[in-house]
Structure 1
Amino acid sequence: MYKSVRCTKHNWKLDVSTMKYINPPGSFCQDELVVEESEENELLLLELNPPNPWDSEPRSPEDLAFGEVQITYLTHACMDLKLGDKRMVFDPWLTGPAFARGWWLLHEPPSDWLERLCQADLIYISHMHSDHLSYPTLKKLAGRRPDIPIYVGKTERPVFWNLNQSGVQLTNINVVPFGIWQQVDENLRFMILMDGVHPEMDTCIIVEYKGHKILNTVDCTRPNGGRLPMKVDLMMSDFAGGASGFPMTFSGGKFTGISTENKLSDMGMSLFPRYIKETNIKNDPDELNNLIKKNSDVLTWTPRPGATLDLGRMLKDPTDSKGIIDPPEGTKIYKDSWDFGPYLKILNAAVGDEIFRHPSWIKEYFTWAGFKDYNLVVRMIETDEDFSPFPGGYDYLVDFLDLSFPKERPSREHPYEEIRSRVDVIRHVVKNGLLWDDLYIGFQTRLQRDPDIYHHLFWNHFQIKLPLTPPNWKSFLIYCGERGPEISQNFKISLSCSNLLLKKFTIDNLISSSIKDLRHSSEGMLRPGLMQVEVRKKRYTSGSQTSRFPADLMLLL
């Protein structure tokens, strides 16, 4: 029997005698894995080995006329594709925030973005994260064209799981299986593929027009389990390397160097905004351009919102001056104003909701969440903007071993986490039964843990496995009314203090927390580029050729 095995997702080594990871050295630990055995008491190992579904019904590339296939970058991960007489849009986040109020757009989308959406023949939304599935954007679209065809993959958790609660009226959402060509017309088809690391959520897409393939891997960590077509004409990929609240919102562990005490110090808290920026430095476009040029025969391009690439021209002659059209001189590139008010008002309203008059909401919520029988104790602390305890806010313990709510930590040996959350966001999440991505990807929390062990089962549950319908707070309030008054003594303090949140919330808070869209160089300066387009100088001449860059064009979002 093997002493160690290698994780097919992350390439980490696992010591099967202890069920602990032994690679990389010095990294944080993972909680002990659940061992699955076969009927013969043998260890079960699962490795994704997907087929190459794009090879079914292959088509030879045809010549493209100039202007026949055009790709226009709008903002963030949103692309507008002209494919013959059809238009297709990817991941439209064009207004409002993402992840509660943690992310706001850096770049100004073209002024006609809503017209572009309304004129699209179909929209692809890769996954449910709110910087890709933007309900504020879709609400504006639904007001003009509610029947627009929208396509999503058949993920474990439905992409539009929260559609009814959002109030957005869309009537033509199509959930399609993975690895099956979806025919749009005689020249155009597309195929949605799953991610090998997060198959329950992330997807990517291949669009084929007249035999020319466009691959968009979006946020996938290992798209299609790492098996992708080699001969694609255009490749799009995330530029920032994914989104995560770890380690940026953790404190007190080996990864932060801010505070070694069990509780966050005032100094530690004051350092956090700077720390988040310094530990979330993004790739520099110029450095990436130089690296690609050094190791391949690929040309690179850093476009701006509104810029358009003509695929037919670029494939014929990458030096064609009309192959890439930049937006007109004087076009506004960076946003300098955001409509904060309406979105912050929604979040702030949750602070004074009647639910939180009754301390028993805590038991009601975590019972609804359904995570238990796991040896972990979590302390939840509601805070103000600076992550100091919110006056009149709740501060409580949850013991997930028996789903109890003790006043003190239990005497048994147990892992412990402390989660500080801004009160308006945590109450909005609780009230609406939302996933916790809004908290930690949105940088609305600060976390500590002892020992320094990442509890995958806990975080994965609150990230992806919460019930599809929110808690029944109406029945809860009726029950509380029948049972008699149970008003928290601190509720009036909490309600009055909540009125200060909007006044204290400044643009500096927004900019410091919206760090995925702020591309920082090593000197901390903003960089204009959100993506790269790499143009291959020479086309493939046979299927046996290999290259580090399998695409004729690569576009990094």
Structure 2
Amino acid sequence: MPREQKFIAAIPSSKLSTLVEGCNCVVVNKIALVVNIHSGGIHVYKNRCAHQGGKFVPDLEDADTAVCSRHGWKFNSRTGHYTNPPANGENPCFIQEELYTTLSSSGDLEVYEVVVDVAKSSDVVQFAEGKLKTRSPKSSLVAGEFTVTYYGHACVIIKAGSFKIATDPWLVGDAFLGGWYPLHEPPKNWHKDLAEVDMIYISHRHPDHYSPQTLRVIAKQNPSIPIIVGDLRGGSVVDSYLPMTKVHRLELGRWKEFSNEMRLAILPDGALGDLDTSLLLEYKGYSLFNYVDCGDPNNGQLGKVDIVLGDFAGGASGYPMCMKMEKYSDKYIVKKKQQMNATYLAKTMNLLEKLRPDIFIPFAGYFSEARPSDTRIRRLNTKNSAIDVARKVEDTFHGSIGVFVPTPGRLLDMKKPDLTMPVTRKGHFASHPASKVRLMLRPYEETAVKFAPFIMRRREALEYYFTWANFQDYDLVLEIIECDENLSPCEEPFFVDFRRGLRFPQDLAYARVWERIFVRKSAFRHAMRHGMGWDSFFIGFST
């Protein structure tokens, strides 16, 4: 594909002369950079961690190392290789991409990045001059031609002419090992409606977006619905749990044509490049962008579109509700949650500033904590509401962006959008009686108390799991304390040292610093038995 160099910034010679040998973190015209100076030359990188976009600062222990201020990831600014975790040749996510530099005649260091020459690639999604480059001007619509219908959480059906596509159907069952349950009761005929769509888009692997249980219900009526997913470096949603027979992995950032009037593309996430994606659809010159949970959709390359859907609520983590330290009183947690929710709303406003849609649909934040033992978590884990979003949008954009507040079955028609505030009814909300939830939790509990390796040979089983996971050479020491449903310890601590290979010490008398994790035994052992990611239980309030 044709490529070109895009100018980023010029580091003045006066600033360049003040930099020290080794790692430097500088800001030039609001552009944050990491600069390494050594006898062999200069290396420059964007100051953005490949993990979740945190900012680097120079490491105090090694002159060439930059350490992320958010989660402690480290990379060698001379080689570009991450050292914590170590670089993996099969996964370029762990190599910081170096920028191109050249000295100007005045001695300034000009910094460029290599980008795709989109002007020579017509099928590549392009944002230019502050807006999405559409294929054609907008054509007139008739009622019911271009619509969005909400079904629950992150699931909508988008109708563009005769074409229908559903997104992220999680409408039945729990998610995150019993931590999450759908807040809304889906429309009565949801399984019939979803079985009649032309395609289903799944943004990422998290179980509130990729729900095999929901898909199995749909597949009973129509197992041949094509599934589309982004072709991610770290693996796409294609596995034995997927009940549909047709799965298509689309190259990120390229349009897929369906007719002269409709096309769509799956775009990457700059914050979680191996996990998340977003969906862009164009119909008759109108554009719809669903950024789902992306923290940095399309690597920040955005512009004006007509409709935007995205998350808004927050609360998708055990922090701070599940923290055991003394300072985490209810009063402290309430205040902390207020700050976190305000930050989350600010992030949403920043994205809307870049996208400048006519209409924003706040979705992908409608879940509840229905586990019987999670009463305190449910009380303290306050979230932004759609009403909060509508007020913040009005205060920020003064009427230039409308908000469509979704309720189950509510339809947005782009011919004549109805943006009045809906009346919320009791029937909109799903019921999760304790007896039903306990039945859903039973598979996790049975793993904890009946799966023989964990009962008969616990230590050996845990060592086998961590050896199989092959996670090592990471600056981390863990003390794992398995707990009951109330997060009270019920097993002896287990220790794992990931530094310099993998060790399982009997105690941590030799360690200076380590992390102590309290985790529900049922969720932890179920995740280990099935080789699941740890986000399965830490997002689900089990640690």
1:19 deviation in Å? 8.1
Pick one of 416, 419, 427 that aligns with 1:332: 427
**Amino acid across the alignment from 1:197:** A
Whether contact under 8 Å (1:19, 1:33) holds in the other structure is no
Whether contact under 8 Å (2:226, 2:244) holds in the other structure is no
Pick one of 253, 258, 268 that aligns with 1:194: 268
Distance 1:330 1:252, change over 3 A: closer
Measure the CA separation in 1 of the matches of 2:522 and 2:201. Answer: 32
- Within a 5 Å distance, the mapping from 1:216-231 to structure 2 comes to 216-230=290-304
- Within a 5 Å distance, the mapping from 1:433-444 to structure 2 comes to 433-444=531-542
1:233 deviation in Å? 1.6
Pick one of 405, 428, 435 that aligns with 1:302: 405
Partner of 1:34: 75
Partner of 2:441: 344
Distance 1:17 1:100, change over 3 A: closer
Distance 1:384 1:241, change over 3 A: closer
Measure the CA separation in 2 of the matches of 1:117 and 1:13. Answer: 42
Pick one of 440, 447, 451 that aligns with 1:353: 451
Measure the CA separation in 1 of the matches of 2:378 and 2:440. Answer: 24
**1:102 equivalenced with 2:102 (yes/no):** no
Partner of 1:515: none
Equivalent pairs counted in the alignment come to 409
Partner of 1:207: 281
SS at match of 1:156: coil
Distance 1:222 1:394, change over 3 A: same
1:371 deviation in Å? 1.3
Partner of 1:4: 25
Distance 1:246 1:60, change over 3 A: same
Whether contact under 8 Å (2:192, 2:221) holds in the other structure is no
1:46 deviation in Å? 4.8
- Within a 5 Å distance, the mapping from 1:18-97 to structure 2 comes to 18=60, 30-31=71-72, 33-38=74-79, 46=98, 53-55=124-126, 58-97=135-174
SS at match of 1:213: strand
Whether contact under 8 Å (1:251, 1:259) holds in the other structure is no
TM-score (structure 1 length as normaliser): 0.67
Pick one of 259, 276, 281 that aligns with 1:185: 259
Distance 1:144 1:363, change over 3 A: same
TM-score (structure 2 length as normaliser): 0.68
SS at match of 1:204: strand
1:206 deviation in Å? 0.6
Which deviations, in whole Å up to 9, do the C-alpha atoms of 1:338-376 show, x marking residues without a partner?
A: 643553222122121122122311211110011122343
**1:408 equivalenced with 2:507 (yes/no):** yes
Same amino acid, percent of matched pairs: 31
Distance 1:19 1:44, change over 3 A: farther
Which deviations, in whole Å up to 9, do the C-alpha atoms of 1:92-150 show, x marking residues without a partner?
A: 00100010100001110101110011000001111100000011101212222221101
Which deviations, in whole Å up to 9, do the C-alpha atoms of 1:519-538 show, x marking residues without a partner?
A: xxxxxxxxxxxxxxxxxxxx
**Amino acid across the alignment from 1:408:** D
Distance 1:54 1:280, change over 3 A: same
**1:155 equivalenced with 2:232 (yes/no):** yes
**1:174 equivalenced with 2:248 (yes/no):** yes
Pick one of 58, 66, 71 that aligns with 1:16: 58
Range moving further from structure 2, 98-107 or 287-296: 287-296
Partner of 2:469: 369
1:300 deviation in Å? 3.1
Which deviations, in whole Å up to 9, do the C-alpha atoms of 1:249-304 show, x marking residues without a partner?
A: 333287x35899xxxxxxxxxxx967745764322433432332233223334231
Distance 1:196 1:426, change over 3 A: same
Distance 1:86 1:427, change over 3 A: same
1:380 deviation in Å? 1.4
Distance 1:325 1:308, change over 3 A: farther
Whether contact under 8 Å (2:315, 2:381) holds in the other structure is no
Whether contact under 8 Å (2:317, 2:541) holds in the other structure is no
Partner of 1:115: 192
Measure the CA separation in 2 of the matches of 1:50 and 1:180. Answer: 15
Measure the CA separation in 2 of the matches of 1:278 and 1:344. Answer: 21
Distance 1:177 1:29, change over 3 A: closer
Bigger fraction of residues in strand: 2
SS at match of 1:54: coil
Whether contact under 8 Å (1:249, 1:440) holds in the other structure is no
SS at match of 1:313: coil
Whether contact under 8 Å (2:405, 2:421) holds in the other structure is no
Measure the CA separation in 2 of the matches of 1:46 and 1:438. Answer: 33
Partner of 2:309: 236
Range moving further from structure 2, 284-293 or 436-445: 284-293
**Amino acid across the alignment from 1:207:** L
Whether contact under 8 Å (1:252, 1:258) holds in the other structure is no
Whether contact under 8 Å (2:170, 2:208) holds in the other structure is yes
**1:381 equivalenced with 2:481 (yes/no):** yes
Q: Which has the higher contact order (CA 8 A, sep 6+)?
A: 1
Measure the CA separation in 2 of the matches of 1:370 and 1:11. Answer: 25
Partner of 2:205: 128
**Amino acid across the alignment from 1:33:** K
Whether contact under 8 Å (2:56, 2:69) holds in the other structure is no
